[in-house]
Amino acid sequence: MPQYADSIVTSKLGINYVRSIVESAKCIFHKIDQENDLGIDAIIELVKDGVPLNQQIAVQIKSGKSYYNANSNQCIIPVGTHFDYWLNYPVPVYGIVYIPSMNTANWVDIKTYLRNHGKRTVIKFDRTRTNIFDDDNFLKIFMPTVLNRLPKLSFEEAASLFHSSHPSEKYLGLLVLFRSAPNNLQIWDWFISYFKTRPAGEIAPILIYYFAHIPWHPDILYRGEEITPETKKYVQRYFNSFDKQDIVKLLSFIDQETMISRGSIGQSVETIISSIQNRDALLLEVIEDNTLPMFLRECAGLIYAYHNNTAAIPVLKSLSEQGSEYSDILISTLKEYGWIDLYT
């Protein structure tokens, strides 16, 4: 007697769950027939107020307990032979894992994951509050993310995410707080505490870019509520209280390839350090500390030379004598031109 496999039932549960979320949001769910399924289960067309937004995404839907590891709280999507297919698909590709026992689902941006992680046999991602796929979060987080818009979170929701220990939740909270409430002084208290208490490797680099909005530099692209002079004065007082360790932490964000150049994270680092009242004294502390990596000391020397011109040559010579070839280049530039231009 023929049997209706449990796996088919489970698969349909996932498809129907996702379809219900999409259609409840008055968007369009185009299911791809199984015989035409090459790694894409459906196309979602986003619609707002009855008007198509000319944005489609492809989704791969997995359903069942085998796609969720309860011990690690991770969702799992096998890549199989789909790596190149997904990576080169003409529209964004998202993976959605439905867990029948919990009647919930979570999503991941497959293309971004594959670009960041390279060839993998399986995609693994944490279940967090930022990637829940349900009626509420489809409109508040998922759809704005796909459209590259700010998620629609309240201040309290964003604050709760920011204070999470999970990196993706903290990042989304940071993003929404800065973009939606840049003149709320409390968020700057939180941001400064985050910077000062966490190791550099645990800090989202975008925080440094946000910090640079206080002194400002010409390559900041910002749209939204204008940061007031009162807010800038409030945050600058924090910057002026930074010590040597804070400067070292800032310098550690500079990329060795892009260094301090237009549009780089190094530009934001330089802008912040340059705004500090006792900048030169702090930079000298870093330059003279031979327990620090030479690259950080060279970056400190570069910023010092940027502000002090030929008066920086004796300081740079001390680095040169310790084997810094980069300092030799700076010294030659200063002798020839009398100054250093970081942004030509």
pLDDT at 36: 54
Residue 118 burial by Cβ neighbours in a 10 Å radius (0-12, 13-18, 19+): exposed
pLDDT at 1: 52
What gap in Å lies between CA 295 and CA 251, rounded to an integer?
9
CATH number of 6-146: 3.40.1350.10
pLDDT means per 10 residues, the chain with 344 residues, are 53 94 98 76 96 96 96 96 95 97 96 94 97 98 97 98 97 98 98 98 97 96 91 98 98 97 97 98 98 98 98 97 97 96 90
pLDDT at 234: 98
Q: Sign of the C-alpha dihedral, residues 58, 39, 29, 173?
A: negative
| Residue 42 near residue 15 (C-beta atoms within 8 A) | yes
Query: Residues with Cβ < 8 Å from 272, sequence gap 6 or more?
Result: 208, 211, 212, 214, 215, 239, 250
pLDDT at 242: 98
| Residue 67 near residue 75 (C-beta atoms within 8 A) | yes
Closest CA to 24 of 32, 36, 16: 16
pLDDT at 68: 97
Domains of the chain: which residue ranges? 6-146, 183-337
| Residue 22 near residue 28 (C-beta atoms within 8 A) | yes
pLDDT at 224: 85
pLDDT at 127: 98
What gap in Å lies between CA 73 and CA 133, rounded to an integer?
15
